[in-house]
Protein backbone atom coordinates (compact mmCIF):
# COMPACT_ATOMS: atom_id res chain seq x y z
CA UNK A 1 0.00 0.00 0.00
CA UNK A 2 2.78 2.36 0.91
CA UNK A 3 4.29 1.56 -2.39
CA UNK A 4 1.80 3.80 -4.08
CA UNK A 5 2.84 6.66 -1.87
CA UNK A 6 6.44 5.94 -2.52
CA UNK A 7 5.64 5.72 -6.17
CA UNK A 8 4.38 9.26 -6.02
CA UNK A 9 7.67 10.39 -4.65
CA UNK A 10 9.46 8.26 -7.14
CA UNK A 11 7.64 9.99 -9.93
CA UNK A 12 8.83 13.28 -8.58
CA UNK A 13 12.32 11.92 -8.37
CA UNK A 14 12.20 10.49 -11.83
CA UNK A 15 10.98 13.76 -13.22
CA UNK A 16 13.72 15.63 -11.48
CA UNK A 17 16.29 13.18 -12.77
CA UNK A 18 15.12 13.65 -16.30
CA UNK A 19 15.27 17.38 -15.98
CA UNK A 20 18.71 17.21 -14.47
CA UNK A 21 20.00 15.13 -17.30
CA UNK A 22 18.47 17.59 -19.68
CA UNK A 23 20.44 20.44 -18.14
CA UNK A 24 23.90 19.93 -19.53
CA UNK A 25 25.35 23.31 -18.60
CA UNK A 26 25.22 25.40 -15.42
CA UNK A 27 24.06 28.40 -17.44
CA UNK A 28 20.99 26.60 -18.76
CA UNK A 29 17.85 28.42 -17.62
CA UNK A 30 15.09 27.43 -20.02
CA UNK A 31 11.74 26.46 -18.58
CA UNK A 32 11.41 22.68 -18.24
CA UNK A 33 8.18 20.73 -17.84
CA UNK A 34 8.08 17.21 -16.58
CA UNK A 35 5.49 14.45 -16.67
CA UNK A 36 5.60 11.22 -14.70
CA UNK A 37 3.74 7.98 -14.21
CA UNK A 38 4.29 5.98 -11.03
CA UNK A 39 3.93 2.23 -10.83
CA UNK A 40 4.42 0.09 -7.73
CA UNK A 41 4.66 -3.62 -7.00
CA UNK A 42 4.01 -5.28 -3.66
CA UNK A 43 3.80 -8.79 -2.29
CA UNK A 44 1.35 -10.46 0.06
CA UNK A 45 0.89 -13.93 1.50
CA UNK A 46 -2.02 -14.45 -0.93
CA UNK A 47 -0.61 -12.99 -4.16
CA UNK A 48 1.53 -10.17 -5.48
CA UNK A 49 -0.18 -7.04 -6.75
CA UNK A 50 0.59 -3.81 -8.53
CA UNK A 51 -0.74 -0.32 -8.60
CA UNK A 52 -0.19 3.08 -10.15
CA UNK A 53 -0.69 6.80 -9.90
CA UNK A 54 -2.22 8.64 -12.85
CA UNK A 55 0.18 10.75 -14.95
CA UNK A 56 1.01 14.10 -13.42
CA UNK A 57 3.06 17.20 -14.22
CA UNK A 58 5.86 18.91 -12.29
CA UNK A 59 8.40 21.73 -12.70
CA UNK A 60 12.08 22.15 -11.84
CA UNK A 61 14.06 25.21 -10.79
CA UNK A 62 17.73 25.69 -11.68
CA UNK A 63 20.12 27.86 -9.67
CA UNK A 64 23.00 29.90 -11.08
CA UNK A 65 25.32 26.85 -10.91
CA UNK A 66 22.94 24.67 -12.92
CA UNK A 67 21.88 22.66 -9.86
CA UNK A 68 18.25 21.59 -9.79
CA UNK A 69 15.60 21.61 -7.11
CA UNK A 70 11.98 20.46 -7.05
CA UNK A 71 9.20 19.82 -4.54
CA UNK A 72 6.84 17.09 -5.74
CA UNK A 73 3.54 16.18 -4.09
CA UNK A 74 1.47 13.11 -4.91
CA UNK A 75 -2.02 12.77 -3.41
CA UNK A 76 -2.18 9.62 -1.29
CA UNK A 77 -5.75 9.10 -2.54
CA UNK A 78 -4.41 8.89 -6.13
CA UNK A 79 -2.74 5.52 -5.44
CA UNK A 80 -4.78 2.75 -7.05
CA UNK A 81 -4.46 -1.02 -7.34
CA UNK A 82 -7.75 -1.79 -9.10
CA UNK A 83 -9.21 -3.38 -5.95
CA UNK A 84 -11.45 -1.02 -3.94
CA UNK A 85 -11.03 -2.87 -0.64
CA UNK A 86 -7.23 -3.01 -0.97
CA UNK A 87 -7.17 0.68 -1.97
CA UNK A 88 -9.20 1.58 1.13
CA UNK A 89 -6.76 -0.38 3.32
CA UNK A 90 -3.81 1.35 1.64
CA UNK A 91 -5.29 4.80 2.22
CA UNK A 92 -6.06 3.87 5.81
CA UNK A 93 -2.45 2.74 6.35
CA UNK A 94 -1.26 6.04 4.88
CA UNK A 95 -3.82 7.97 6.95
CA UNK A 96 -4.67 9.82 3.74
CA UNK A 97 -7.27 12.03 5.41
CA UNK A 98 -4.76 13.44 7.90
CA UNK A 99 -1.74 13.28 5.55
CA UNK A 100 -3.20 13.77 2.05
CA UNK A 101 0.17 14.21 0.27
CA UNK A 102 3.26 12.09 -0.20
CA UNK A 103 6.15 14.51 -0.68
CA UNK A 104 9.48 14.30 -2.49
CA UNK A 105 12.20 16.94 -2.06
CA UNK A 106 15.03 17.28 -4.55
CA UNK A 107 17.71 19.83 -3.68
CA UNK A 108 21.08 20.80 -5.11
CA UNK A 109 20.95 18.03 -7.72
CA UNK A 110 23.87 17.95 -10.17
CA UNK A 111 22.51 16.72 -13.53
CA UNK A 112 25.94 15.53 -14.73
CA UNK A 113 26.35 13.35 -11.63
CA UNK A 114 22.86 11.88 -12.02
CA UNK A 115 23.56 10.99 -15.64
CA UNK A 116 27.07 9.65 -14.95
CA UNK A 117 26.29 7.67 -11.76
CA UNK A 118 22.71 6.64 -12.57
CA UNK A 119 21.59 7.70 -9.08
CA UNK A 120 19.12 10.32 -7.95
CA UNK A 121 19.18 11.30 -4.26
CA UNK A 122 16.06 12.80 -2.70
CA UNK A 123 14.06 12.90 0.51
CA UNK A 124 10.72 11.12 0.65
CA UNK A 125 8.10 12.02 3.25
CA UNK A 126 5.19 9.71 3.96
CA UNK A 127 2.86 10.93 6.67
CA UNK A 128 5.22 12.65 9.13
CA UNK A 129 8.31 10.49 8.47
CA UNK A 130 11.05 11.60 6.07
CA UNK A 131 13.82 9.34 4.77
CA UNK A 132 16.66 9.82 2.27
CA UNK A 133 16.30 7.76 -0.90
CA UNK A 134 18.86 6.88 -3.58
CA UNK A 135 16.94 5.95 -6.70
CA UNK A 136 18.46 4.15 -9.67
CA UNK A 137 18.10 6.01 -12.97
CA UNK A 138 17.89 3.76 -16.09
CA UNK A 139 16.78 3.72 -19.73
CA UNK A 140 17.93 7.26 -20.40
CA UNK A 141 16.76 8.18 -23.92
CA UNK A 142 17.32 11.57 -25.53
CA UNK A 143 14.36 11.82 -27.94
CA UNK A 144 15.52 15.10 -29.46
CA UNK A 145 17.34 18.29 -28.41
CA UNK A 146 14.42 19.31 -26.20
CA UNK A 147 12.95 16.06 -24.91
CA UNK A 148 14.26 13.29 -22.65
CA UNK A 149 12.79 10.13 -21.10
CA UNK A 150 14.10 7.90 -18.32
CA UNK A 151 12.96 5.54 -15.57
CA UNK A 152 13.66 5.69 -11.86
CA UNK A 153 13.59 2.58 -9.64
CA UNK A 154 13.71 2.29 -5.86
CA UNK A 155 12.36 0.14 -3.04
CA UNK A 156 10.81 1.43 0.15
CA UNK A 157 10.25 -0.32 3.44
CA UNK A 158 6.89 0.39 5.07
CA UNK A 159 8.48 -0.07 8.49
CA UNK A 160 11.08 2.62 7.69
CA UNK A 161 8.19 5.07 7.37
CA UNK A 162 6.47 3.80 10.55
CA UNK A 163 3.74 2.16 8.49
CA UNK A 164 2.18 -1.14 9.45
CA UNK A 165 1.56 -3.38 6.45
CA UNK A 166 -2.15 -4.12 6.04
CA UNK A 167 -3.32 -7.60 7.01
CA UNK A 168 -6.58 -9.54 7.10
CA UNK A 169 -6.84 -13.00 8.64
CA UNK A 170 -3.85 -14.91 7.20
CA UNK A 171 -3.21 -12.38 4.39
CA UNK A 172 -0.43 -9.87 5.03
CA UNK A 173 1.16 -7.34 2.69
CA UNK A 174 4.98 -7.52 2.49
CA UNK A 175 7.12 -4.75 3.96
CA UNK A 176 8.98 -3.81 0.76
CA UNK A 177 7.34 -1.99 -2.12
CA UNK A 178 9.17 -1.60 -5.45
CA UNK A 179 8.58 1.68 -7.26
CA UNK A 180 9.16 2.64 -10.88
CA UNK A 181 8.63 6.14 -12.18
CA UNK A 182 8.50 6.78 -15.92
CA UNK A 183 9.63 10.35 -16.53
CA UNK A 184 9.50 12.62 -19.54
CA UNK A 185 11.00 16.11 -19.47
CA UNK A 186 10.86 18.75 -22.13
CA UNK A 187 12.16 22.27 -22.62
CA UNK A 188 9.37 24.67 -23.48
Mean pLDDT of 32-51: 90
Chain segment 63-122, per-residue pLDDT in tens: 888 788 888 999 999 999 999 999 999 999 999 999 999 999 999 988 788 888 999 999
Alpha helices by DSSP H, the chain: 2-22, 84-94, 111-117
- Cα-based angle 144, 147, 151 (whole degrees, multiple of 5): 115
User: Which has the minimum average pLDDT: 1-5, 97-101, 123-127, 159-163?
Assistant: 1-5
67 with 108: CB under 8 angstroms?
Answer: yes
Residue 31: predicted pLDDT: 64
Query: What percent of the chain shows pLDDT beyond 70?
Result: 83
Between the two ends of the chain, the Cα-to-Cα distance in Å is 35
Chain segment 135-158, per-residue pLDDT in tens: 999 998 888 888 888 999 999 999
Q: Which residues contact 60 (CB under 8 A, 6 or more apart)?
A: 15, 16, 19, 20, 32, 34, 68, 69, 70, 106, 185
Domains and their CATH numbers in the chain: 2-187 (2.40.128.110)
Residue 105: predicted pLDDT: 94
Query: What percent of the chain shows pLDDT beyond 90?
Result: 48
What whole-number distance in Å separates Cα of residue 164 and Cα of residue 156? Answer: 13
Q: Does the pLDDT value for residue 58 go beyond 80?
A: yes
pTM of the model: 0.80
Alpha carbon of 188 to those of 67, 71, 73, 125: distances in Å?
Answer: 19, 20, 22, 30
Amino acid sequence: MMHGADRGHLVGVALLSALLAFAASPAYADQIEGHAIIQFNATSTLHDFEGSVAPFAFALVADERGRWSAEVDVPAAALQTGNASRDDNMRSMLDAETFPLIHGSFHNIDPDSVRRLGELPFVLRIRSVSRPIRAEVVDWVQLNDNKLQFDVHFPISLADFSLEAPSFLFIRVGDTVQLTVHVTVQRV
